[in-house]
Amino acid sequence: MPSTVVHLAIGGVVAAALLGEEFDRRAVAVVLAAAALPDLDTFTGLYLEGTHRALLHTFVLPAVAGVALAHDTRLRGVSRLRARWGERGTRVAWVALAALIFGGILPDLMTNGVNAFYPLYDRFLTFNGELLLSNQRGVVQTFVDLSTAPEQTTENTHYWTGVDPTRGAEPENVERIFPVVRSGFQLLVVALGAFTLGARFLEER
């Protein structure tokens, strides 16, 4: 599973690419916080079983935030966000929303899955596979699987973390693992995020 470090790295790339003239330490901090936000449900899983990768990994969260942002910044006569923070606040808010989706939720959806529409629909979904062009089989894709596999819900699914290794009470000698990177590709993503942010900060100087 992608660690919070990986989520932050992707959020950093989003910040460097989209903040434009609003790029500075405070704006980057807001965007990185949005990318890391979904991982806070690691702690809710201690009290509400099954809510890790559900409570804050749901697309309902950015959908509600996006509707609220669009209403305030595009439909209202006077935007509260713009009145308080100006165009800078509007730009940072939209970039933070992008980081929440692309840095916070999508990496987990593509690695082991998330409860994508919780609480409206309680089922963990995974979007992972491959797309091939074969001279014998034509176009081959494994992203969409219509098999009748048992549904994974908050009732029967637990994603281990260093905070909550197993469902229910853990033995005293339980091993707690806190992943940083779990593959060469994840290491590449972290390096790319660090390099991109570093280059932007140097450029701003």
66-114 pLDDT, tens digit per residue, is 999 999 998 888 899 999 999 999 999 999 999 999 999 999 999 889 9
Decide: residue 138, CB within 10 A, 0-12 exposed, 13-18 middle, 19+ buried: exposed
- For 60, residues 6+ apart whose C-beta sits below 8 A from its C-beta are 117, 118, 119, 120
Give pLDDT, residue 147.
64
And the tokens for 64?
A: 């509600």
- Asked if 22 contacts 202 with a C-beta cutoff of 8 angstroms, the reply is no
Q: Can you give the pLDDT at residue 106?
A: 96
Task: Extract the residue ranges of the chain whose pLDDT is less than 50.
Answer: none
Chain centroid to CA 179: 16
What pTM did the predictor assign?
Answer: 0.91
The total of other beta-carbon atoms located within 10 Å of residue 126's CB is 16
Residue 19: the pLDDT is 97
Return d(Cα 59, Cα 135) in angstroms, integer: 37
